[in-house]
Every structure is written in structure tokens, then in C-alpha cells.
Chains A and B, each alone.
Chain A
């Protein structure tokens, strides 16, 4: 039994190493500007955010729609802390160079991004997590909107630059030039690894118990509020780190792009991957980004087959086809790609580990 466990561990470590090597290799071969590298970068960022959302929605059963708000907090924290001193005057030109007059490194700034998002989550969680089901969804959605409004408020402009762009902070292009994919994969890999450790701990099992039956879990002595609050804070921490990565990917930052539609996109990724499956969320993120940014691009421009002009193809058609596909998944393949299983559990006999009672 133990040997098989070890074999499994070695196998998954090899798998992870292969993925890292592949990511690095692709970037070396096709250059940092190619479409496949863009997909790998953005896909990895979305993978982290989707996994953080899955932790709440799929493992604790909290239907939270506040992810865009926490990403916004993380992205802004990162950008504000890392804009080089020399460029602050230019970025904060309307606010006399701004309040923050120091710069920290990329990694500390990313950790700060997660921590500040977690602090916000802890404060928001106290009132909001008492709510249930769809009320929780709408309240978290509301808080995300409030965060967006506050960030754009003119009075704290010297901190957030109001509704103007934040830019010139370190981006993926210049943190590890030529190795941007490797950098993103490393950060995302560490974060998702931590989330997996949490899911497989006692806390994780308590969370799943809450998801399956709140009342039964409480009767077994699980403190509902404590565990929900913890999951909410942890999820927001990683959403904050994900926001920081997204800021690096985008190169410039504006609060207005963190709308509720962003949360919806991430929720759809989680659903496509399978609620309650970390590997599902990761796979779905890459598929989602590859499909929307790359594979379906041809739908957006006119095409001639011989003399025949293919009908319907015009800007925007890509997203229509894409959303139809998503609706088909939502309606007919409700378990998503992975259901609530993980990639490494596929071979395992279902029910051996106590299958979920439907």
C-alpha cells in the first residue's frame, strides 16, 4: 500500500516537472510574444483564480461571487507597492506623486497582495458568511462592486490613482525576461500546491462535510462559521495573489475591468472543470483561455472559401459560439470535465474512498 503511494507521488512529481519543462521549452521555441505563450501565461493565472474560487464554491459549498473584488485588491496592492520610485511622479501625475513613497520587491508585493485581500475577506466575511445560498452570492457580488467604487474614489486617489491607469510596475515581460511562463507556472504551482495541502488536511475534510450537509457537520462538532470564515480568507488570499499575477500579465491596471462579468467568467471555468476538482479547474482554465484567445479567433474575421464568403463570421462571433458551448456544458454536462474527482484519482475505483452520496 505504502509503496503504491510512493509510486504515485513520484509519478505526479514527474508529471509536474514535465509540465514545467514543456512550458519553458515552448517559450524558448516560439518566443515570448507568441499566442501559445500568451495562452500559457493567462491560462495559468486564471487557473490559480479558478482554483481559489473552487475552494469556496466546490469544496465548502459557499456560493460566493466576490472573486473579482479580491482580485482587484490584490492587483492594486501589487501595483502600488512595486511602481519604481523614479516613475511614481509620472503615474500619479494628478495626485502629486501619491502617498506611497517606497518600493518593495516583486515577491513581497505578491505576498502583500494576498494578505491585504485576505484582510478584506476577513472583514467582509464577518457579516456576509451568516447568509445562505443565493443571498450570500448577491451580497459578495455587492461587496465586490463596493470595493470597485472605493478604489476609484477621488479622495484616496493618492493611493489608488483614482480611475486612472496604474502602470510601469514590473510585468511578466521584465521580471524574468524570456522565462515568463516558468515564473507564472512556479508561482501558480506553489499556490495550488498549498491549496491542495489544505484540501487534504482535517480542515479540508471539515469543509467538504459542510458542503455535503451543513446541519450534520455542525452536529459532528464542526464550527460552521469558523471553517467558512477560514475558507473565505484563504480563497481570497489566493485570489489576491492571482490578481497580482493578472496585473503582471496585463501590464497596466484599471479598476473598471474588474467587473462582475469577470467573476462570472471564472465561475463558468470552475463549472466547466467540475465543482470540487482542482485539476478540473486547471484544465478548464487553459481550455477556456485557449479557446477564447486563440482557437476560436478565426470566427472573428471574414473568411473566403474559394469565392464563397462564409456567413456569420464577424467580430464578436467567437464569443457567441463560445458562450453557446458553455451553455451546452452547463445544461447537459453538469458535472463538467472532471466532476468532483482529480486527475490522479481517475484510475482509482470509484467509491473506494467513500463516493459522494447523491
Chain B
């Protein structure tokens, strides 16, 4: 029994870790701007395309950092162009803007790549197969959870022990007061998008090593699932996002093991709805009270 389930568990942990890296971007942005950044999944896809094109002419030691830099620039630009002008607008407008950006990025990627699926390059040290017990898997399956935990721990340290981290916490508690206390809101928000995009870039490298075809819309589903993970873990909480993502990744693969592949996506959303109904603040979210 266990030996049969082992490959699914491994795949679940691996994909869960990749969702976690995307979910960090969602949860941080939501924590500060109260915005579901619908374009985040497309930034993740863009990171995949950056790698496809850069690795064609550059060695991995150059292309990997360059992909992260380019993704960060993209995330930063999106924030400055599409979200910053709407700071004082109703929240619905900024969410619509996010949907518009997602639409634009998908169409732009379709145009630039010709709409055909691109083969993701083989990254050294990730694609080799190894055996764990009875199961055969790729190295990336082992690397993902380790790397995810390391990055999340690093990020939590950053938020709890540095000045910019303190600024982030202040902004997420109260936007206006933080501004009055002399915190440069725009810088804090930019840093949030930079961190989120960098994490998405790392996540895309791990994700596409497993699912090697990059298409313009490939990021939509992992993006939505990562958002669910962020809600499940308690939006605003980074460790929560990671645990939520791992739970979703594992359950999704166990459902596949049970032969209900068609429902693996539906399960994620069913879980979301259950969480929202019974514990809207998620596993680790803080309780908020609504004031008139």
C-alpha cells in the first residue's frame, strides 16, 4: 500500500513546494495591498519563457540569475504601471486592473512566442532520476521541499528581524498610519512585489523541470491553486501559505492516486470554499473584526 502511494506522496510534496513559492507572492501582496494579484500566475509563466529563451544562448550559471532578475523587473513594472496609479481607488478597480494585466501578459506572451508550447530546458542537477525506496523520481522532487523551507525560513527572518520587514508588518496592519509614521509605502510595496516575483521565478524553475511544456496560459491554474493555498494557510501568513500549499499538493496527488484525476483541480476549489465558510481566516490567519 505504502509503496504504491509513495510516488504520489513524493509528487505531492514536490508540487506543493512549488505552489508554496508562488503562494508567497500572493500572500505578501494581499497582506499589504488587500489585492488578489491575478497577474502573479502570468509572471510565473513569464519566468518560464525567460528561461526557455535565455538558456538557448547562455550557460545555466548566467541564465538562472538573469531569469530571476528579469522576473523581478517584470513584477516591479507591473506594480508601478498598473497598481500604483490606483492606490486611492476602490479595491474593485485595482482587482479589475490585475485581471487586465493578466489578460495583457497572456496575449503578449502568445504574440511573442507564437502560441506554441515551448520545451523547457534541462537544468543541471535537477532532472536526473534517483530512486527512493521503491519509487523512481527526479532530483527536483527532493530539492523542492528543502529549497522551499529554506527560502520561507529566510523570508520569515527577513520580515521579523529587519527594518524593511518591520515596515512591511506596519504597512499590513495599517496603511495610513504607517505612512504618517514616515514609512515610504511605495518602497515597501515594491519590495513586496520584488520578493514575490523572485520566489515565483524560483518556483517556475522547479515547476517546469517536472512539467516541461511552457504555454502562455500554463500559469493560470498553478496561480489559482497557490492563491487557494495562501487563503487556506491564512492570507498574510508566509508559513501558513507554505503549509497550505503542501497540503493541497499532497491531497491533489492522492486524489489522482484514487483514480479521480478529473477532480484534482475541483478538489482545490472545494477546499477553498470549505475553508472560507468555516474558518475564513485560514489556518494561521489573524482574526479581524469589521467596523462600521
- Chain A residues within CB distance 8 Å of chain B: 57, 63, 127-128, 130-131, 133-135, 137-139, 141-143, 145-146, 149-150, 152-154, 215, 259-261, 264-265, 267-268, 271, 275, 314-317, 319-320, 322-324, 326-327, 330-331, 334
Contact = CB atoms under 8 A, between A and B. Distances in A.
A356 B268 CA distance: 40
Contacts of B132: none
Contacts of B217: 261
A142 B106 contact: no
A138 B99 contact: no
A264 B89 contact: no
A64 to B, nearest CB: 12
A314 B113 CA distance: 11
Given A142-B272, A261-B220, A330-B93, A320 B265 contact: no
Contacts of A131: 276-277, 280
Interface stretch (B1-9, B69-77, B192-200, B224-232): B224-232
B256 to A, nearest CB: 13
Contacts of A271: 96
B211 interface: no
B104 A320 contact: yes
B263 to A, nearest CB: 6
B263 A130 contact: no
A152 B102 contact: no
A259 B216 CA distance: 14
A140 to B, nearest CB: 10
Nearest to B278: A127
Contact of B280 (A135, A142, A319, A331): A135
Given A134-B95, A137-B95, A323-B100, A315 B280 contact: no
A316 B110 contact: yes
A315 B224 contact: no
B114 interface: yes
A151 B211 CA distance: 25
Given A320-B111, A323-B107, A138 B272 contact: yes
Q: Among B86, B97, B103, which residue has the most Cβ atoms of chain A within 10 A?
A: B103
B292 A215 contact: yes
A127 to B, nearest CB: 5
23 contacts: A131-B276, A135-B276, A138-B36, A141-B269, A143-B269, A145-B269, A146-B266, A149-B263, A215-B292, A268-B103, A314-B111, A315-B111, A316-B107, A316-B111, A316-B115, A320-B104, A320-B107, A320-B108, A323-B108, A324-B104, A326-B104, A331-B82, A334-B89
